[in-house]
Amino acid sequence: MIDIEPLHFAWTSGGPDTLALGPLHLDAGQTVFLHGPSGCGKSTLLGLLAGVLSPRTGRVSLLGQDWAALGAGQRDAFRADHVGVIFQQFNLLPYLSVLDNVTLPCRFSALRRRRSSQGPFAGPEQSAQSWLQRMGLSAELWGRRADALSVGQQQRVAAARALIGQPELILADEPTSALDAALRHDFMDLLLQATRDAGSTLVCVSHDATQAERFDLQWSLPELQKLGMAA
């Protein structure tokens, strides 16, 4: 599913490496808890996995496809098809309705549009409604402007959006850090369960160590870095 061959990454060409990793592998459907202190390169790693950033040396592959082998336009299309993203906050376009925010990926990816129209669903809207329901958002919220929702609700909309069309990889960058402690657990519950049901792989960056045990794998980035330096 994800294959990382030993890689080095630097923000500027010729600059110091900010990230060095040994070989890593993830299977389809696995969930990973990625942790480490601020500034250690967690977001950089997500960028590499999403094909937004390119390593100086080494290789990152998703579904057997080397990101570096694709041109910029192809990377964008490949990402739209196979990767869902959840940010810490401000995930939604304020001027669209909740439902339109969830169906956004289907506007840019024909594959996800097709997938979200399969099975019981007549189209992306029905699929989006189903995901929103899964995330515990009731129907009266669907037509509202996205910025009319609470932060907790917005994060759940973001999760529904990342999952629509069942992309193979979900990347979550501290999705619970803007939530109250009481809500974090519930959100993680929903996200993990929904990801497993979709058969997607989840890589979740978080500071909240209390959540770690619920993931299949726990990656500490500083430790991975040590291995990478050694390799």
Q: Which residues in this chain contact another protein in the complex, by CB under 8 A? A: 43, 46-47, 50, 52-53, 72-73, 76-77, 79-81, 85, 87, 90-96, 104-105, 107-109, 112, 161, 173
> Nearer Cβ to another protein, position 71 or 120?
71
**In the block, which residue shows the tokens 């979740």?**
204
Residue 175 beta carbon to another protein: minimum distance, rounded to whole angstroms: 12
Q: Which is nearer to another protein, 26 or 157 (CB)?
A: 157
3-state secondary structure of 156: helix
Supply the minimum distance, in Å, between the C-beta of residue 231 and another protein. Answer: 26
Q: How many other C-beta atoms are found inside a 10 Å radius of the C-beta of residue 187?
A: 20
Q: How far is the CB of 182 from another protein (least distance, A)?
A: 26
- Whose structure tokens read 């990767």? 83
d(CA 153, CA 149): 6
d(CA 57, CA 76): 21
- Of the two residues 110 and 229, which places its CB atom closer to another protein in the complex? 110
Q: CA dist 147 to 90, 133, 214, Å?
A: 9, 19, 30
Which is closer to another protein, CB of 96 or CB of 227? 96
Spatial contact of 4 and 60, defined as CB atoms under 8 Å apart: yes
If the CB atoms of residues 82 and 184 are measured against another protein, the closer one turns out to be 82
Residue 202 in contact with residue 192, Cβ under 8 Å? yes
CB of 8 to another protein, least distance (A): 19
Task: Choose between 145 and 214: whose C-beta lies nearer to another protein.
Answer: 145
Shorter beta-carbon distance to another protein: residue 46 or 188: 46
Strands 217-220 and 201-205: unpaired
**Half-sphere exposure at residue 202, Cβ-oriented, CA atoms within 13 angstroms:** 31
Smallest gap, in angstroms, from Cβ of residue 109 to another protein? 5
CB of 45 to another protein, least distance (A): 12
How far is residue 55 CA from its own chain's centroid?
Answer: 19
Sequence-ordered list of residues with C-beta below 8 angstroms from that of 81, at least 6 positions apart, any chain: 109, 111, 112, 167
Q: What length does the chain have?
A: 231
Q: Shortest distance, CB of residue 146 to another protein, whole angstroms?
A: 10
